[in-house]
């Protein structure tokens, strides 16, 4: 497959750059890793592209359960169910090790997708799927998400407050949803040094350039997931991160 990259701006992916590609993969609810939502006009533009070109849109809703300061955004898939394949996962809501996720596939693609999945891995574990279905049916999944949303929101707010105190020249972005934030670094701090400084304090964070197609062109920033440390370790992890970034 040939892969073309879309540029990004404050409204998300530049879907006006789509041309003769067969498919486009987007994260409309929360761009990964920069964290902005795809603007309504861009969603419409992407759907118009798919309708006129026959291309497939893949809507990767990898952390859609976790929205904090805004009403839930509707799925782009609802605008054009025949053009958009919607993908969700239990990786953020339950655990990445479960390897459970779901696809809502346009009818014309369904048989091919099922066949490709069968050839890829002979189907996902049935008992795991039944256990998840039971959790959803019982209302337990919804209760779990609501509880986690509060926990993660509190962590996110603590991250922002701690950085404002200890490293006020670090700008935090991409906060409206998900389990990670983008920490834009001031000129005094090189990304590579920030990653190394965090690593020396026992924290695994990644630089934005690790995700970039053209690393030299990216802003200097860290991608920091705040869901990982267990509750008892979060205060220490936050203090160490601040120490690594403090002036």
Beta carbons within 8 Å of 62's beta carbon, 6+ residues apart: 27, 30, 32, 87, 88, 89, 91, 92
In contact, 247 and 167? CB cutoff 8 Å: yes
Burial-class residue 136 by CB neighbours within 10 Å (0-12, 13-18, 19+): exposed
Which of 24, 26, 27, 105 is close enough to bind ligand PLP by CB under 6 A?
27
- Assess 62 for contact with ligand PLP (CB under 6 A): yes
Which of 41, 101, 171, 236 is close enough to bind ligand PLP by CB under 6 A?
101
- Assess 32 for contact with ligand PLP (CB under 6 A): yes
How large is the greatest C-alpha to C-alpha distance in the chain, in angstroms?
Answer: 56
- Assess 60 for contact with ligand PLP (CB under 6 A): yes
CA 202 – CA 207 distance, rounded (Å): 15
Instruction: Say how many C-beta atoms besides its own lie within 10 A of residue 42's C-beta.
Output: 20
Which of 96, 140, 168, 202 is close enough to bind ligand PLP by CB under 6 A?
96
CA 146 – CA 156 distance, rounded (Å): 15
**Nearest distance, CB of residue 164 and ligand PLP, angstroms:** 26
Point out which span in 88-96, 104-112, 118-126, 138-146 binds ligand PLP (CB under 6 A): 88-96
Considering the complex, state which of residue 167 and residue 182 has its C-beta at the smaller distance from ligand PLP: 182
- Assess 102 for contact with ligand PLP (CB under 6 A): no
**Nearest distance, CB of residue 177 and ligand PLP, angstroms:** 12
**Nearest distance, CB of residue 246 and ligand PLP, angstroms:** 28
Instruction: Say how many C-beta atoms besides its own lie within 10 A of residue 214's C-beta.
Output: 8
Considering the complex, state which of residue 27 and residue 220 has its C-beta at the smaller distance from ligand PLP: 27
**Nearest distance, CB of residue 161 and ligand PLP, angstroms:** 25
In contact, 67 and 73? CB cutoff 8 Å: yes
- Assess 91 for contact with ligand PLP (CB under 6 A): yes
CA 19 – CA 40 distance, rounded (Å): 20
Considering the complex, state which of residue 58 and residue 162 has its C-beta at the smaller distance from ligand PLP: 58
Closest CA to 102 of 113, 116, 118, 86: 86
Can you give the binding site for ligand PLP, defined by CB under 6 A?
A: 27, 32, 60, 62, 89, 91, 96, 101
């Amino acid at each position: 497959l040939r892969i073309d990259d879309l540029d990004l701006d404050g409204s998300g992916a530049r879907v006006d750059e789509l041309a003769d590609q067969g498919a486009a993969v987007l994260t409309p609810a929360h761009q990964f890793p920069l964290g902005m939502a795809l603007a309504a006009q861009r969603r419409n533009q992407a759907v118009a592209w798919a309708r006129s070109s026959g291309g497939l849109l893949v809507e990767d809703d990898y952390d859609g359960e976790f929205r904090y300061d805004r009403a839930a955004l509707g799925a782009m898939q609802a605008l054009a169910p025949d053009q958009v394949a919607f993908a969700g996962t239990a990786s953020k809501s339950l655990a990445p090790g479960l390897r459970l996720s779901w696809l809502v596939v346009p009818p014309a693609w369904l048989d091919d997708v099922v066949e490709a999945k069968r050839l890829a891995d002979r189907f996902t574990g049935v008992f795991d799927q039944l256990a998840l279905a039971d959790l959803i049916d019982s209302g337990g999944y919804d209760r779990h998400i609501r509880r986690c949303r509060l926990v993660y929101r509190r962590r996110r707010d603590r991250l922002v407050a701690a950085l404002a105190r200890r490293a006020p020249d670090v700008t935090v972005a991409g906060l409206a949803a998900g389990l990670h934030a983008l920490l834009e670094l001031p000129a005094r701090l090189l990304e590579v040094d920030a990653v190394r400084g965090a690593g020396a304090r026992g924290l695994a964070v990644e630089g934005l350039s690790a995700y970039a197609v053209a690393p030299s062109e990216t802003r200097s920033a860290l991608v920091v997931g705040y869901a990982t440390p267990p509750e008892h370790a979060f205060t220490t992890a936050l203090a160490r991160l601040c120490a690594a970034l403090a002036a």
